[in-house]
Amino acid sequence: MKILVINCGSSSAKFQLFDVDTGAVLAKGNAERIGIDGKLTYKPAGKDEFVSTEPMPDHKVAVQMILNALVDKDHGVIADVSEIAAVGHRVLHAGMHYSESVIVNEDVKKVIRQCFPLGPLHNPANLIGIEACEDVLPAGTPQVAVFDTAFHQTMPPKAYTYALPYELSEKYSIRRYGFHGTSHRYVSHRVAEFLGKDYNDIKIITCHLGNGSSFAAVNHGKCQDTSMGLTPLAGICMGTRTGDIDPAIVPFLMKNENLSADEVDTLLNKKSGVQGLSGVSSDFRDLEKAAKEGNDRAQLALDMFAYQGKKIIGSYAAAMEGVDVIVFTAGIGENTDHMRKAMCEGLEFMGVEFDDEANAGLRGKEAIISKPSSKVTVCVIPTNEELAIAQETEALVR
Ligand code: AMP
């Protein structure tokens, strides 16, 4: 079965066409600068990349161009668009409405629209992508919404409620939602399978460490807690995001730097994190290089990231009253042995015996990086959010 996965932004649409029976990516690419001028990058498996700069005035034209590329007689990978059994859309926010992926209908679109205030940058673009596909694909092609927030909907109220006046939280639906849910779901399931354990019988801490980073405590198959909150700004410090800070810093900066709400929002989301701390880069490869060359602020950024990550791991072990598996994933989690080691070092008191040899130099591969005698098994599992979206889409439409 062939499934098209689309991740729509306000001026872009990233896509991958999967054969879900084999897991193979038949083609992938990105339609960028939609509404500005237009650039389609398209890479069919085993063939050369193709770039088109034909104008893309809107998402409908962009989706049509993607479909044209997929069926093109020279670089296409399918004979007809009717071969696409369904489209899986990455959608940021479902509020409190869905704990699973759903086939899109008018009610689902209404929910995505209702959640615009909770995901103002993503949800409108996600809906535009869905509607563009409805317009352009053969009538009746199922569209599936796979939500970043859905996996975390099993959290209990004590984990997701903020200590604000209750009426205000209710009025604006302010609570912890959590993000990267597709990745946490995929990696937690996969690690159980990889270790031959029953998913519903173990306590897992998933550490998704990328440009955006989040942790989840997955207790007997259910997400019990996660580090991102109402928005993806919360939790550990990230590439350009502060992570958790004393909330009083916000009015302090607004008053003393004369910043508007939007300006302080930009400062916290785009100019902070390890980039703001180091003044070097948001990329951990650049930070490691700078730290090696003696840059103290780059070293501080790395130390803070490791320290904050370790604190979250420890707190989730306490929250679940134990942990069986710690799993690292995403750009940093899959590739940076120093960071995995730094987050696990000193956790012998809670049963972690880290295996330096297994960890050193390991990149992008499923592996166990704790000693066989370790009470807690530490693993690396590469995430694959697009494949997870394709698989969830397939499961729903089959
Ligand atoms: P992601 O958001 O999952 O793509 O992760 C991006 C982050 O992963 C960046 O900070 C990169 O520095 C880091 N990263 C990606 N590949 C590597 C690598 N080979 N070695 C070290 N860090 C990496």
The verdict on the CB of residue 285 being under 6 Å from ligand 1 is yes
**pLDDT one-digit tens code per residue, 335-369:** 999 999 999 999 999 999 999 999 999 999 999 99
For residue 364 and ligand 1, the question of a CB distance below 6 A is answered with no
CB-neighbour burial class of residue 259 (10 A; exposed 0-12, middle 13-18, buried 19+): middle
| pLDDT given at position 159 | 98
Q: What is the CA radius of gyration of the chain?
A: 22
pLDDT > 70: what percent of the chain? Answer: 100
Torsion-angle region of 158 (φ positive above 0: left; ψ -120 to 50: alpha; else: beta):
alpha
* Ligand 1 neighbour 141 (Cβ under 6 A): no
Specify the amino acid at residue 313.
Answer: I
For residue 389, give the amino acid letter. I
Name the active-site residue from 19, 58, 148, 337. 148
CA of residue 207 to ligand 1 center, whole Å: 14
Question: Measured in angstroms, how far is the CA atom of residue 52 from the centroid of ligand 1?
Answer: 28
CA angle 38, 40, 43 (to 5 degrees): 170
| Nearest to 238, CA basis, from 281, 280, 274, 207 | 274
Phi, psi (deg, nearest 5) at residue 259: -105, 145
- Residue 148 a catalytic site member: yes
How high is the pLDDT of residue 90?
96
Residue type, 237: C
Give ∠ CA 337-350-353 in degrees, rounded to 5: 40
Quick check: CB of 284 below 6 Å from ligand 1? yes
Q: Which atom of ligand 1 is nearest to the CA of 330?
A: 3
Q: Which of 206, 208, 228, 284 for mutating ligand 1's site (highest number of atoms within 8 Å of CB)?
A: 284
Determine the residue of 281, 292, 305, 336 to mutate for testing ligand 1's pocket, defined as the one with the most ligand atoms within 8 A of the Cβ atom: 336
User: What is the model's pLDDT at position 117?
Assistant: 87
Nearest 10 degrees: Cα torsion 318, 322, 325, 327 = -10
Question: Which residues in the chain land under pLDDT 70?
Answer: none
With a 6 Å cutoff on the Cβ, whether 332 touches ligand 1 is: yes
CB of residue 311 inside a 6 A radius of ligand 1? no
Of 308, 307, 241, nearest in space to 269 by CA:
241
Task: State residue 118's pLDDT score.
Answer: 87
Residue 222 has what pLDDT? Answer: 98
pLDDT at 10: 82
Beta carbons of 69 and 76 less than 8 angstroms apart: yes
